[in-house]
Amino acid sequence: MKCQKVHEKLDAYVARELPPGKAQRLENHLKTCPACREALVGARRIAAVLSETQAPPLPDGFADRVVSRARRRVPAVERKHAVAPPWSRFSTLAWRSAVAAGVVVGLALGAIMGRDVSEPSQVGASVRDAVVETYQLDYFAEAPGGSVADGMIQMMGLPENAE
Amino acid sequence: MVDDRVLMRQIAGGDMAAFRELVVRHQQSAWQIAYRYLGNRHDAEEIAQEALLKILDNAARYKPSAKFSTYLYRVIANLCFDHSRKKQPLYVDDLPVRTSDDLPPLEELSAVEREQAVQAALDLLSERQRMAVVLRYYQDLSLKEIAVAMGATAKAIERLLAAGRQALSRHLGDFSDM
């Protein structure tokens, strides 16, 4: 084993990572090479010096700051995986279409029913006169069309009431 | 304790509590590597945080082919290299860059000064030598693990460590002889 090769293997040798065969060849070289023995001592010293020095402690609140940045950074991910609100099922296209159709049908029915109610009275003037006379409702005789009084006279003039 | 790989699956599903757990587990290593490589607190915290956030961003694509910590070291190493390329020169906290001639003997140094002297010596190494030394001596990684973290062969790491060790001996001078 040559000196350059030994120098490259010293870290692995010190950490006992070398396979037994290579470790033996390296040790054989060390027995005959003072320069490489000195390099081995130097490697151990460097390892000791580095291990003795401590890096500054982790800054306070480090994890909180990382998580805080993460929450600001990935709102889309959170929304994607958040629990869906109860009403969210009604926001699908099918539900929206069904609601729209219901509104249209409701408006159409309302228009038809409203037209029946607002149509002018079919009760003839003779019936109206008969009702006024029969029930002595003279004070309603001049009631304008569409008024409450007129509506009452019309109801009373229907066949079951117009005796 | 829940395995890191399980935590990563939970994180991929949007579990922020799992992410916090992962951060708490690995924040010390992330900080130590970044600080030892970069030499100042501000940049070290920025890079360590960015590494953990990058892991969050890529959680869905994470494939547990190696130990999670090795994956984390690779992310940190790449961010450190990128940072070095973008921001030159690197600064050591309140300490001018020294050569071996500037360093007083070990016995004259306080613990803080020793730490600063070692950091200054590390800062004089090449980027890849420094990262190899940091992962080897401060994280106790094997040659193979360093090789994976740095995207190199184990043989290349051996050479980097040998060169880095010789450079540290020169820069630290008598310091390393004590």
Q: Is A83 on the interface with B (CB under 8 A)?
A: no
Beta carbons within 10 angstroms of residue B152's beta carbon: 17
For chain B positions 84-113, those within 8 Å of chain A (CB to CB) are 111
How many whole angstroms separate alpha carbon A41 and alpha carbon A47? 10
Amino acid occupying residue A90: F
Q: Is A10 on the interface with B (CB under 8 A)?
A: yes
pLDDT at residue A89 in the model: 54
Structure tokens that stand for B161 in this block: 């460590």
Q: Is B12 on the interface with A (CB under 8 A)?
A: no
DSSP states along A29-72: HHHH-HHHHHHHHHHHHHHHHHHHPPPPPPPTTHHHHHHHHHHH
Of A73-82, A103-112, A138-147, B2-11, which one has max mean pLDDT?
A: B2-11
Amino acid occupying residue A116: D
Considering only the beta carbons, identify the residue of B53, B118, B165 that sits closest to A69. B53
How many whole angstroms separate alpha carbon A37 and alpha carbon A44? 11
Whether the predicted interface score ipTM is above 0.85: no
Q: Is A46 on the interface with B (CB under 8 A)?
A: yes
State whether A42 and B49 contact (CB < 8 Å): no
Does residue A91 register a pLDDT over 80? no
Residues A96-139 pLDDT 10s = 777 778 877 878 787 777 665 555 555 566 777 777 777 777 76
Does residue A79 register a pLDDT over 50? no
Considering only the beta carbons, identify the residue of B48, B162, B176 that sits closest to A8. B162
pLDDT band at B86 (very low <50, low <70, confident <90, very high): confident
Q: Which residues contact A86 (CB under 8 A, 6 or more apart)?
A: none
By the 8 A CB rule, do B138 and B32 touch? yes
List, in sequence order, every residue forming a beta bridge with B92; answer none if it has no partner. B95
**pTM to 2 decimal places:** 0.67
pLDDT at residue B95 in the model: 46
For chain B positions 18-57, those within 8 Å of chain A (CB to CB) are 19-20, 23-24, 27-28, 31-32, 35-36, 41, 45, 48-49, 52-53, 56-57
For chain A positions 15-44, those within 8 Å of chain B (CB to CB) are 15, 17, 42-43
Does residue B122 register a pLDDT over 90? yes
For residue A122, how many C-alpha atoms fall within 13 Å in the half-sphere facing its CB? Answer: 5
